[in-house]
């Protein structure tokens, strides 16, 4: 596989790439939710809900230890919380961009929720170095965050370390559909979307980075192969909305 991780323009090496990604999300945090919903015409809500539904059995277990990694402003976390029973063990919601996380906690934090409602605990942490015990989690979910990691293989290995044997991984990511739909979408994604992003956000880099990072991300068969090579079984990719996005799933092997 050619691509090993995200490389924002100008960043050399993994450290620089990670810092560039962190700074970018910190800077767009105030406008992130608005932009997301405008650019996806609210379809992102359906994707978060659908991904959460896929893990409904484990989410319904009150004792399950669940992590939303790269949680950002917390909309995936909220979709997960909807499926947790009252009194469930708190879900963990981690991100390394403090400005994104601080917006998320206003939605999913204990003080933002009614008494007894499931809530999430924020964790400011790098996905490649999680401050969590090995074999401690039943489920890790990531929505539109994994693509931004500076090293995809290292990310999958770190998730493998903290998942219990038999624990599940779900990665929701964009992809580039083929055929006519893919061609039409490419025009929107590569030209229209960065222009709208610039207009709302007033910044050049962030929404030009999005299509570039999606274009550089491994295609579904490559990503599935990488998951298999890093210790996951029952790996599959389920396309959402003509393959504009999709959910990668895998189960941590016993060794």
Ligand X SMILES: C[S@@+](CC[C@H](N)C(=O)[O-])C[C@H]1O[C@@H](n2cnc3c(N)ncnc32)[C@H](O)[C@@H]1O
Measured CA to CA, the distance from residue 78 to residue 71 in angstroms comes to 10
Q: Per rule CB under 6 A, is residue 194 in the interface with ligand X?
A: no
Q: Per rule CB under 6 A, is residue 244 in the interface with ligand X?
A: no
For residue 225, CA distances in Å to 175, 215, 220, 236 come to 16, 18, 9, 9
User: Which residue number places its CB atom closest to ligand X?
Assistant: 72
Measured CA to CA, the distance from residue 47 to residue 240 in angstroms comes to 7
Q: Per rule CB under 6 A, is residue 79 in the interface with ligand X?
A: no
Measured CA to CA, the distance from residue 227 to residue 233 in angstroms comes to 8
Please state the closest distance from residue 35 (CB atom) to ligand X, in A: 10
Which one, 92 or 179, has the nearer CB to ligand X? 92
Compute how many other C-beta atoms are within 10 angstroms of the C-beta atom of residue 143: 26
Figure out which of the listed residues 16, 126, 153, 222 binds ligand X, where binding follows CB under 6 A.
126
Q: Per rule CB under 6 A, is residue 246 in the interface with ligand X?
A: no
Measured CA to CA, the distance from residue 175 to residue 217 in angstroms comes to 8
Figure out which of the listed residues 128, 154, 186, 212 binds ligand X, where binding follows CB under 6 A.
128
Figure out which of the listed residues 35, 71, 140, 223 binds ligand X, where binding follows CB under 6 A.
71
Q: Evaluate whether 162 touches 87 at the Cβ level (below 8 Å).
A: no
Q: Per rule CB under 6 A, is residue 148 in the interface with ligand X?
A: yes
Q: Per rule CB under 6 A, is residue 14 in the interface with ligand X?
A: no
Figure out which of the listed residues 66, 70, 139, 171 binds ligand X, where binding follows CB under 6 A.
70
């Amino acid at each position: 596989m050619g691509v090993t991780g995200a490389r924002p323009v100008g960043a050399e090496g993994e450290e620089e790439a990670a810092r560039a990604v962190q700074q970018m999300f910190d800077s767009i945090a105030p406008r992130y939710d608005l932009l997301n919903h405008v650019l996806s015409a609210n379809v992102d809500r359906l994707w978060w809900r659908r991904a959460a539904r896929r893990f409904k059995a484990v989410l319904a277990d009150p004792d399950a230890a669940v992590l939303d990694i790269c949680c950002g402003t917390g909309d995936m976390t909220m979709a997960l919380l909807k499926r947790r029973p009252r009194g469930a063990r708190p879900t963990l919601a981690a991100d390394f961009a403090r400005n994104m996380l601080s917006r998320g906690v206003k939605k999913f934090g204990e003080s933002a929720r009614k008494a007894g409602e499931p809530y999430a605990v924020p964790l400011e942490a790098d996905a490649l170095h999680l401050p969590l015990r090995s074999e401690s989690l039943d489920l890790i979910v990531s929505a539109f965050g994994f693509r931004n990691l500076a090293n995809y293989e290292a990310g999958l290995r770190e998730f493998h370390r903290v998942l219990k044997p038999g624990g599940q991984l779900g990665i929701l990511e964009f992809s580039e559909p083929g055929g006519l739909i893919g061609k039409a979408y490419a025009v929107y994604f590569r030209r229209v979307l960065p222009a709208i992003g610039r207009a709302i956000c007033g910044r050049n880099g962030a929404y030009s980075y999005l299509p570039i990072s999606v274009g550089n991300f491994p295609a579904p068969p490559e990503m599935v192969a990488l998951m298999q090579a890093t210790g996951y079984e029952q790996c599959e990719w389920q396309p959402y909305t003509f393959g504009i996005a999709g959910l990668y799933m895998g189960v941590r092997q016993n060794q």
